[in-house]
Amino acid sequence: MVKIGSALLTNNGAGLDRAAIDGWVEQIAALLSVGTEVVLVSSGSIAEGIVRLGWKSRPDSIHELQAAAAVGQMGLIQTYESSFKRFNRLTAQILLDHDDLANRQRYLNARSALKTLIQLDVVPIVNENDTVVTDEIRFGDNDSLAALVANLIDADLLVILTDKDGLYSANPDQDPNAELIREAMASDRSLDALAGGSSGTLGRGGMVTKLQAARLAARSGCNTVIAGGRNPDILTAIAEGQSVGTLLAASTQPIAARKQWLAGQLQVKGRLVLDAGAVKVLTEQGRSLLAVGVTDVVGKFTRGELVSCVNAEGEEIARGLVNYNSDEAMRIKGKSTELIASILGYREDDELIHRDNMVVV
């Protein structure tokens, strides 16, 4: 999996950097020629559209952003198609939104389509479907999209190319003594303090989103490398195992496909606050969540929707598909299973969330 950001693709807003794109494509073609499977997640449609439309800055209006995406996607995919054609490689455009991966059937359809394209030696070029998404259903950034696609296809490695050489001990633009972190575990929470927000006007991601993406990818056992996309032959160097950029390693074994899908959902509909006993049962014993272990219910959700399970401090412990809606959950929270029928007048399920529909995060 290779993800290239807007700042790189458009040379910080000057328009599509075709020379740079040709360089990345040449490296990808070389990897394909030795049997390495590559899926490309490419930002740049909105940034390219802004340039083509002659706008001086990124607009705030969702409709203008959608229009820019529609205009820019044409130039972006044409550039990739032309560049890969030099190596007799076919490309395919894949546009996704959150609903495509939140719906289980569409998730499986997207997985099948991508795996079929890979088997046909076609290079899938994935981008968020910015022309139709709104803030409510967007992934938020293409780093998250890349991680979800890495989960989707069971990728071994996610490479995020950025305008920085990797994750540093301090902001390298402000601190000359900042050191590049060569390797760390994706789960290492001490890294959070080192990642800042987005500093660009073209894209939506910053180093913090790349760190979050690495953790999301790690759920399927996928390692992540964050590296400088402007460095010569960077993809070749990574493929050869050279120490470039920052390697964020997965610390756990790949989780089952259904739970991987659950873990990858970015939009939860509500929260269940758990007591210490329930937290222990979920994290140490892998059991289902019962209503008796819930102390509070936050948000509005219906039966079957995704909710987050948090401890008393608000830290997410797990997430899963809930068996009761928010009003019902509020009425039965803290109560034993035997009392559910007398409180609600019925008992659909013994568990608030069954362990088969839950993933500990």
Please give the average per-residue pLDDT across 13-37, as a whole number: 93
Scan for tokens 């760390």, then name that residue: 184
Distances (CA, A) of 63 to 130, 202, 232: 10, 16, 38
Count CB-CB contacts under 10 A for residue 348.
Answer: 11
Contact 230, 163 (CB under 8 A): yes
pLDDT in tens, 154-189: 899 999 999 889 999 888 878 888 899 999 999 898
In tens, the pLDDT along 15-24 reads 899 999 999 9
d(CA 164, CA 177) in angstroms, rounded, equals: 15
Largest CA distance in the chain: 70
Domains of the chain: 2-259 (3.40.1160.10), 268-360 (2.30.130.10)
C-alpha 179/C-alpha 86 separation (Å) is 39
Statement: residue 195 has pLDDT above 80: no
CA distances from 225 to 82, 117, 161, 278 (A): 27, 24, 8, 36
* DSSP H helical ranges for the chain: 6-9, 18-33, 45-52, 62-85, 98-102, 104-119, 142-153, 207-218, 234-239, 257-264, 276-285, 326-332, 340-344
Closest C-alpha among 132, 46, 60 to residue 95: 132
* 8 A C-beta contact, residue 104 and residue 304: no
Beta carbons of 162 and 61 less than 8 angstroms apart: no
Residue 105 has pLDDT above 90, yes or no: no
**In angstroms, rounded to a whole number, what is the distance separating the alpha carbons of residues 167 and 173?**
12
**CA neighbor of 206 nearest in space, from 197, 194, 215, 214:** 197
Q: What is the pLDDT of residue 203?
A: 43
pLDDT in tens, 214-223: 998 998 889 9
Angle at alpha carbon of residue 278, lines to 273 and 280, rounded to 5°: 120
Identify how many contiguous H helices and E strands the chain contains and give both numbers.
13, 13
Element housing 42 (H / E)? strand 40-42
The pLDDT mean for the chain works out to 89
- Are 183 and 224 a contacting pair, CB within 8 Å? no
Torsion angle in degrees (nearest 10) through CA of 99, 105, 108, 113: -80
- The DSSP 8-state label assigned to residue 310 in this structure reads E
Q: Looking at the whole model, is its pTM more than 0.85?
A: no
- Average pLDDT over every residue of 86-105: 88
Token pair listed for 122: 């076609």
Number of Cβ within a 10 Å radius of residue 287:
16
Most confident of 6-20, 195-209, 231-245: 231-245
Taken as a whole, the chain contains a residue count of 361
- Give pLDDT, residue 299: 95
**221 vs 260: which has the higher pLDDT:** 221
Q: Read off the pLDDT of each residue in 313-337 and give the average, rounded to a whole number.
A: 94
What are the backbone angles phi and psi of residue 248, rounded to the nearest 5°?
-110, 105
